[in-house]
Amino acid sequence: MWLNMQVTITYDHRLKRIGHPVRSAIHKLEIGGLVVGWVTTSEYPLLYVFSALAQGHNQVVKLLLNRGAEVNPQGRHSVESEPLAALWGEARVSMSGSSTTEGAMAPKSSLGEQVISGPFSLYEGSFILEFLEPHPSRDATVLIRATYKHDHPLCKQGKGHPQAPPLHLHFNQSETFQVLQGQVATVEGWSVTTKVYTREDGPHEIKPWVPHSFNPVSDSPEDTVLLVWAHPDDVDEMMDRVFFTNLLMYVSDVHEKKVSLNPFQIMLTQHVSATAMVWFPTATWLGPLRWWVPWKVQALFAAAGRLMGLTPMMKRYTSEEEFAEIQKTKRT
């Protein structure tokens, strides 16, 4: 019955919130009137759908829906696709030509949150990044599912992994993580205490103004999968999907020598998320200077970067639609 159904992509106004330009680029995907997933404009022509419609399997695959018909965000438009069976055939060919999507078999969120972007293989394949649509109960601006590949040489470096951020704090938002599988290490607080978290520990919230960092555990016996979300969602300078996409992909490309590190760019990208580095955390006699000085240095680099024509979000990692929305909110 699914072989000749229309593919319908609908802009869902309920997903758009003031100050959340990313959400305006999220669309609902239907086949034969049944909602089967969510896609973003940055993922055209590769759209994620459930193959259950064609094969009865609860597995996410990529269908090559490159038959034209742009989506008009003002309403609902149907895309006259080829018969679904033909598209499914293309998807199977696409899948057979590469390894199974690493994020497809990852432990799922208990709230049933679906992938809206990714998976992205970063840092030489040692780190898999996915973005999920956060459940309203999280009050979150972004929800990430991250996977550290335990047998990768970079993950064996622990704190030396290129994804592991320097000690930093956030002014406006908490950052909560929950280990679904494996174990992750954190450095937290002004005393820079190191602790390892596992699935049994449940969600752990790192509140605003608390210095922190996290990294893979070098001797983990299995891949580590964790959820990370930033909240609340009613702040002006937020950490959202576009921010994390730009930051993580840029740092990964720098590590893989695809691009050169531009300190003005990295400082500018960090600055718009109300994030500051922390220097000499245990030197209590320095007081607030431990974050205030690096914050002001970052502000100077960010201002200089703008004068050089840089923008916080880079077109290289941002879709045209999202970049246009961001410009409207003056985040560029």
- Residue 236: which pLDDT band, with cuts at 50, 70 and 90? confident
Kindly state whether residue 195 falls inside one of the protein's structural domains.
yes
CA dist 232 and 65 (Å) reads 36
Give domain status of residue 247, yes or no: yes
Structure tokens at 102: 């690493």
For residue 198 the two structure tokens come to 């596992």
Strand partners, 79: 7
Domain boundary (200, 221, 241) is at 241
Q: What is the pLDDT of residue 21?
A: 37
Q: How confident is the model at residue 324 (pLDDT cuts 50, 70, 90)?
A: confident
Work out the mean pLDDT of the chain and round it to a whole number: 75
Q: How far is Cα 48 from Cα 37, in angstroms, rounded to an integer? A: 7
Measured between alpha carbons, how far is 243 from 63 in angstroms, rounded to an integer?
27
Is residue 227 within 8 Å of 177, Cβ to Cβ? yes
The residue-averaged pLDDT of 92-107 equals 41
65: closest CA among 74, 52, 78?
A: 78
Residues 122, 237: one domain? Answer: yes
* HEC assignment per residue over 44-55: CCEEEEECHHHH
Q: How many helices (H) and strands (E) does the chain have?
A: 6, 17
Do 119 and 209 lie in a common domain? yes
Split into its structural domains, the chain has a count of 3
CA distance 50 to 57: 8
Picking from 96, 131, 149, the residue at the C-terminal end of a domain is 96
Closest of 82, 56, 54, 52 to residue 68, by C-alpha: 82
Residue 323: per-residue pLDDT: 79
Give the confidence band of 149 by pLDDT, cuts at 50, 70, 90.
very high
**For residue 232, cis peptide bond before it (omega within 30 degrees of 0):** yes
Does residue 289 form part of some domain?
yes
Mean pLDDT of 115-131: 93
Residue 104 resides in a domain: no
Based on the fold, state whether residues 289 and 324 are members of the same structural domain: yes
CB 167 within 8 A of CB 278: yes
Judge whether residue 4 has pLDDT over 70.
Answer: no
126 and 40 in a single domain? The answer is no
Decide if 228 is inside a domain.
Answer: yes
225, 138: one domain: yes
Domain identity same for 236 and 247: no
Structure token pair of residue 144:
């990430």
27-71 tens-digit pLDDT: 555 555 555 555 444 443 334 333 333 333 333 333 333 333 333
Q: Are 3 and 85 in contact (CB under 8 A)?
A: yes
Give the whole-angstrom CA distance, residue 165 versus residue 289: 20
What pTM, to 2 d.p., does this model score?
0.68
The last residue of one of the domains, among 241, 274, 306, is 241
Residues 126 and 192 in one domain: yes
Q: Measuring CA to CA, how many Å separate 8 from each of 20, 40, 69, 313?
A: 24, 14, 11, 30
Helix (H) or strand (E) holding 297: helix 289-307
Q: Judge residue 309's burial from the number of C-beta atoms within 10 Å of its C-beta, 0-12 exposed, 13-18 middle, 19 or more buried.
A: exposed
Residue at 2 is within a domain: no
Mean pLDDT of 89-116: 53
236 in the same domain as 121: yes
Contacts of 243 (CB under 8 A, 6+ apart): 142, 269, 272, 273, 313
DSSP codes joined into one string, 229-296: EEE-S--SS---HHHHHHHHHHHHHHHTTSS---HHHHHHHHHTTTEEE--STT-GGGTTHHHHHHHH
What pLDDT, in 10s, does the model give residues 64-91? 333 333 333 333 333 333 344 444 343 3
> Which 3 state secondary structure label does DSSP give 29?
strand
- Please tell me whether residues 64 and 164 are part of one structural domain: no
For residue 211, tell me if it sits in a domain. yes
Say whether the peptide bond before residue 216 is cis (omega within 30 degrees of 0).
no
Specify whether 271 is located in the same domain as 221.
Answer: no
Are 29 and 78 members of one domain?
A: yes
Per-residue pLDDT of 182-209, as tens digits, reads 999 999 999 999 999 999 999 999 999 9
Both 68 and 141 in one domain: the answer is no
Range of the domain at 136: 115-241
Residue 266: inside a domain: yes
